[in-house]
Amino acid sequence: MLNLLIIMLERVGTIIAVAFILTRFQFFKNMIDHNKLEKRHEITAIIFFGLFGVMGTYLGFALNVSTSQFDTVLAGLVEDEAIANSRVIGVVIAGLLGGYRVGIGAGLIAGLHRMTLGGFTAFACGLSTIIAGFLASAFYKKGKNVKPIVALAVGAGAEALQMGLIIILSKPFEKAMALVEVIGIPMIFANGIGAALFMLIIHSVVGEKEKATALQAQKTLRIADQTLGHLQKGMNNATALAVCNILYRELQPAAVAMTDRHKILAHVGIASVHHEANSPVRTEETKNVLETGQLVVIKDGSVHCNFPNCPLTAVIVAPLTHRDETIGTLKIYYSSEKEIKEAAIELIHGLSSLLSNQLAIAEADRAHQLAKEAEIKALQAQISPHFLFNSINIIMSLIRSRPNHARKLLKSLSCFLRQNVTESTSAKTSLKQELSHVKAYLEIIEARFIDRLVVQYEVDEALLEEKIPPFTLQPIVENAIHHGINDMDENCFLKVSVADMGNEIEIRVEDNGKGIPEEQLKFLGNEQLQSKTGTGMGLYNVNRRLKIMFGDRAELSIKSEKNKGTTVAFHIPKTGGE
């Protein structure tokens, strides 16, 4: 019995070697990936595992129960012979990996073949093989790999079932019993071990594939992290060269290149002498990719470069797209066509999509920035006529009573408006210039208030070169005058302060006016309001521009108490005038 067990395990080793080769077949990869097998692949699997079972039969030994002699399995058996074999391994694995149709189909092929060989156990062995395929299929779980311990139990159980059927169905009973006593335990043990080893190989293959996929994903993420900062600036010679250097370092091909629709933007690696930046696209394959937007693989030993003796022999050319339009190509060159494997093609295809998405994000960022700048200029344009309307009203009120003063104020207004036109094209201005605008405005206001208004400035001189959106302070000051102290008969007070708060600058406008109604306070600066005294457009525009430029941290903070005045403050980052 021990000798038979050793011989059986040796033959199982041959089965396992075949199993390893089996993992190279596409239909088998589909099975262990738990994809639904196509009909042609399912038929292939049935035939293959059926023949696998047949091979297990022929790799066994014919045992003559009368003489106790072992012999090689040939075309048929005599009446007293039976086979110690590993047929059940192929059928069990078929059921575990492919389900009922594959398991039963393989069992029918291997089982019917066994019946044709004859011997007094022919029917029992054939029937048990078919049943083994059915029973193994019961353990099939789509989307999950069967554990080797389960394969061990199913393989051993299927072989034990065969021993039982031999005892029950084979005649004469004495011979059947004698046969099972000799081959029962070795076959149960060997076939259980064989099925478990087969499944262990599958787990190893799956594990290696998952590890390779994880490494590829990690590499892709690393490339994405490194390239994003460059492609945010768009696709040009400098950014393409930086990206090519990153890909050349990470992928280690023969060369890497990027093109736009007409010329090479960058080339890193061998053949860089004649594949120079800004030289025209050379090959028809690259031109076809630019036209069709389809990835192309060249493996024929030449990349069809028109330069004599070009050392580049194999390449993957992938499209770079934006808004469904091909705007360039990514080209990965290899020293040999053998290096271009399916995994490499998938990786390059993924990288081209990744780079295309990064270019789209960069374009969206630029469009967003342009939209922000356009909105800022539109908001600034709204402020100028608002200020002009109020200023002219003040000057008109002084023309008859104080013409000389009106003339002086008109001259100040003229200078202010000249600066106003200049600053309206700028996104930022200095605090010094902004305070100059406010002082010019308040000169006009003070003329109207005569001696009723006291204006106080508390400004840190070291901060005068810091930047601020143009026309930020004037609307706040105007709001304080018009809505706060306008109706006061005396003791009107206004304070403008600029203070250093460490990393930030606090800018504050305070008045001692009548205050803002509580029902309006929570909306002021965030919405345009309709009221008897105005729309709140000035503060709304200021708040909107501050948040666009500096973020929510810079939004207006408005505090007010009835008949005690209002304070409007905001914070901007300190940049040293940059």
Amino acid 235: pLDDT: 84
- Tokens describing residue 320: 């770079």
Q: Which domain holds residue 494?
A: 372-573
Residue 366 lies in a domain: no
Amino acid 446: pLDDT: 82
Same domain, 202 and 245: no
Q: Are strands 81-84 and 264-269 parallel, antiparallel or unpaired?
A: unpaired
Same domain, 426 and 547: yes
CA distance 166 to 275: 75
Q: Which tops the pLDDT comparison, 38 or 182?
A: 182
CA distance 209 to 28: 14
Same domain, 153 and 291: no
Residue 111 lies in a domain: yes
Q: Which tops the pLDDT comparison, 484 or 538?
A: 484
Q: Amino acid identity of 138? A: A
CA distance 466 to 432: 8
Of 54-68, 126-140, 170-184, 273-287, least confident by mean pLDDT is 54-68
Same domain, 118 and 180: yes
pLDDT at 8 exceeding the cut of 80: no
Predicted structure pTM score: 0.47
Q: Which tops the pLDDT comparison, 402 or 138?
A: 138
Contact 99, 142 (CB under 8 A): yes
Domain boundary residue among 317, 340, 363? Answer: 340
Residue 229 lies in a domain: no
Residue 346 lies in a domain: no
Band (168; pLDDT cuts 50, 70, 90): very high
Same domain, 424 and 549: yes
Amino acid 414: pLDDT: 79
Same domain, 59 and 152: yes
Q: What is the mean pLDDT of residues 140-150?
A: 79
Of 6-20, 269-283, 318-332, 547-561, least confident by mean pLDDT is 6-20
Closest C-alpha among 80, 79, 77 to residue 58: 77
Of 34-38, 401-405, 450-454, 568-572, least confident by mean pLDDT is 34-38
Sign of the Cα pseudo-torsion (206, 208, 210, 216, in order): negative
Amino acid 36: pLDDT: 54
CATH of the domain at 464: 3.30.565.10
Tell me the three-class secondary structure of 244-286, residue by residue: HHHHHHHHCCCEEEEEECCEEEEEEECCCCCCCCCCECCCHHH
Band (160; pLDDT cuts 50, 70, 90): very high
Count of the separate structural domains present in the chain: 3
Same domain, 479 and 335: no
Same domain, 473 and 402: yes
Residue 219 lies in a domain: no
pLDDT tens digits, one per residue of 458-514? 999 999 999 988 888 888 998 898 888 988 888 999 999 999 998 899 999 999 999
CATH of the domain at 254: 3.30.450.40
Amino acid 368: pLDDT: 65
pLDDT at 109 exceeding the cut of 90: yes
Band (157; pLDDT cuts 50, 70, 90): very high
pLDDT tens digits, one per residue of 408-420? 888 778 777 766 6
Of 64-78, 184-198, 253-267, 452-466, least confident by mean pLDDT is 64-78
Same domain, 554 and 459: yes
pLDDT at 374 exceeding the cut of 70: no
